[in-house]
Structure 1
Amino acid sequence: MPYYFYQFTHAITRRPPTTICDGLRAVDQGNPDFARISAHHGEYIAALQNAGMTVVELPPLEQFPDCCFVEDTALCLPQGAIVLRPGAVTRRGEASAMAPHLAPFFDDIAVISGPGFVEGGDILVTEREILVGRSARTDAAGIAELTQIAKAWGHHVREVITPPGVLHFKTDCSLLDHQTILATPLLNASGCFADYTVIETADGEEACANAIRVNDTVIMPAGFPKTADILAARGYHVVTVNNSECAKIDGGMSCLSLRFTPTL
C-alpha cells in the first residue's frame, strides 16, 4: 500500500501563550483576542481528532510568543524527524524545546545546525519531492543542509522561490492529495507546480490557501465559502475551523501542528 503524505496517526500541538500578542507579524492587523484564539485552537484540535489523529497538546511557552506555531520547529518524515532552525532568532528556542517531545515517536532525529536557517512553513512534502521555498525565514544554506539530511533518507529536495511579500511558501499553497495542490494564483503563476494538478483559490479568498489534508479530511479556515465549495465539488471532505485571531499574527492551518506517523 503506498504511503501518502497526508495520512497520519499523530499530531503535536502547543497551546497559545498569554504573550501571543507579542508575536511576530508581517503586517499589523491588530492584536488577537486571547480567549477567542484559545477557543479556536480547541476547535482545531477537535478537527484533527475527528480526522482520526491522536493529538499531543503541549503546554504554552510564555517566553516564546509564537510557540503555538509548532510546524516551524520540525519536519516529520516517514524515516525520522528533523529539528529545524527558524529564521527568526527569537524563535530558535522553540525548536530546541520541541526536540524532547519528538523523541518518544522517532528513532532517528536529525538537527539543522546552521549557520543557515529553515522553517517548516516553507516546506511542502509531496509523494515525489520536498519543495522548500526560499524566503526571509528560510535561506539557501538552510535548504542545503536540509537537502543532505533528506537525501540520506531517500528524499529529493527542490528549492523554489517564495513570491515577494509572502511570509512562507505554504502561506500560498497546500497539499490536497498525491498529485493536487491548492494554491493562490500568484504562486501558481510562478510555475513551481507545473507537474501537478493545481486548484486555485477563489478570487478574494487567497488567504485560505494554507489548508491541511489530514487522512480523508481537508481542514481549512472558516470564512472562505467559494473555495470550500470548489473543493467540495472536486470530491474533498472539507471541514472549516475558525482562524480569525491566528491570522492576525500570520498563523494558518498547517503551522499549528506537526502531523506524522511514529517510527517507534
Structure 2
Amino acid sequence: MTDRISHRFNTALVREPAQSIAHGLRDGDGPDPDPAAFSEEFHAYVGALRRAGVTVKRLPALEAFPDSVFIEDPALCLPDTAVLLRPGAQSRIGEAAELEPALRGQIATVRKLAGPGHVDGGDIMVTGSEVIVGLSARTDREGFDELAEILRGWGYAARCVETPPGVLHLKTASAVLADDTVLCTPQMAESDVFEGYRIIETAPGEEASANAIRVNDTVLVSAGYPETTQRIREAMPEVIVEPLSTAQAARVDGGLSCMSLRFFQSE
C-alpha cells in the first residue's frame, strides 16, 4: 500500500447539515441536535480541515436524508479511486446515488457495491498496510466480500474483523493516527483487532474521544477529553492536536470522521 495513505490528504468532500438533522438515526434517547448549533460546529470543522492543508468541496444539504451530513458512510475514498457503498440503514440507502455525481467529478475511478450486502464507511479503517472492515449492525459479511474483491483489484489487502459488543461502528471506538498507530478504547485494545499496531488508549471515562482523525500533520479530536488529548500529544509530539466541539453531532451518533470524505487527488 502507499506510504502515509492513512493520513496524507489534499482534498475533502463535505455536505452541509440538513435542517432535518433532528430526525437522524440514533441508538439511544437524548436531546435533539439544534440545527443552528450543529451548523456552527460543522463550519468550525470545515475550517480545521482547511488549516490542516486540504481543499474542501462543500455539497448542499439533503433535507430528505437527515443523516447525509455524515458523508463518510456512503463511500470509501482512496488515492484516485473510490467505492460507492451500501449503508446498512434503509433510510440512508439513497445517499450513495446523491453523492455519485460529486464523487465522479473529483475522482478518476469510481466503483459501486452492487449488493445485496451492506457496508457503512464508519466501519472502514485504512492503515498503511491494509483496509480493516468491522462487522456491525450496518456492515455485513456479504458487503465485505464484495468490497474486498474490488480492493484486491486495486492492490489493497482487506481484513474483516468482529468489533466488540456494543460498538456502533469500528471508528466509533478507534482511529488511525499514523500508518502503524491507532487510538482506541480499552475495550478495542483488548480485542485482537489491532494486533501488531502501536496503540494509544483513550483515558478512563473518555471513550468517546476515540473517534478522531489525522489530516496531514494535524490530529482533530473532540473537545472535552483533556486526558486523551494529552496522551496523543505525548505519544506523537510531531503532530498538532486540535480539539473541536462535536456535541451536536454526538446527539445523532456522529463524530469527526463521519463528516468528511478525505482523499489524495493527483494533480
TM-score range, shorter chain: over 0.9
Map of 2:262 onto structure 1 = 259
Structure 2: which 5+ runs fail to align?
none
Scaled by the length of structure 1, what TM-score is found?
Answer: 0.98
Map of 2:109 onto structure 1 = 108
Give the CA RMSD over aligned residues.
1.1
Q: Which deviates further from its counterpart, 27-36 or 208-217?
A: 27-36
Distance 1:28 1:167 in 2: 15
Distance 1:171 1:245 in 2: 16
Map of 1:163 onto structure 2 = 164
Asked whether the equivalents of residues 176 and 182 of structure 1 are also in contact (C-alpha less than 8 Å), the reply is yes
Distance 1:2 1:111 in 2: 25
Q: Does 1:22 align with 2:23?
A: yes
Q: Which deviates further from its counterpart, 227-236 or 137-146?
A: 227-236
Distance 1:231 1:163 in 2: 23
In structure 1, the residue corresponding to 2:146 is in which secondary structure? helix
Distance 2:29 2:249 in 1: 12
Amino acid at match of 2:50: Q
Scaled by the length of structure 2, what TM-score is found?
Answer: 0.97
Structure 1: which 5+ runs fail to align?
none
Map of 1:149 onto structure 2 = 150
Map of 1:250 onto structure 2 = 253
How much has 1:29 moved relative to structure 2? 2.0
Percent identity between matched residues is 47
Map of 1:139 onto structure 2 = 140
Give 1:168-187 correspondences, 5 Å limit: 168-187=169-188
Asked whether the equivalents of residues 80 and 264 of structure 2 are also in contact (C-alpha less than 8 Å), the reply is no
Map of 2:234 onto structure 1 = 233
User: Aligned residue pairs: how many?
Assistant: 264
Amino acid at match of 1:156: A
How much has 1:34 moved relative to structure 2? 1.1
Give 1:88-127 correspondences, 5 Å limit: 88-127=89-128
Write out the 4+ residue segments of structure 1 that deviate beyond 4 Å after TM superposition: none
Map of 1:203 onto structure 2 = 204
How much has 1:4 moved relative to structure 2? 2.9
Q: Does 1:81 align with 2:85?
A: no
How much has 1:107 moved relative to structure 2? 1.6
Note the alpha carbon deviations across 1:152-184, whole angstroms, 9 max, x for none: 000111000122211101100000111110000
Amino acid at match of 1:239: E
Distance 2:202 2:127 in 1: 19
In structure 2, the residue corresponding to 1:159 is in which secondary structure? strand
Q: Which deviates further from its counterpart, 73-82 or 145-154?
A: 73-82
Note the alpha carbon deviations across 1:168-210, whole angstroms, 9 max, x for none: 0110000011111000001111111111000000000000100
Q: Which deviates further from its counterpart, 97-106 or 68-77?
A: 97-106
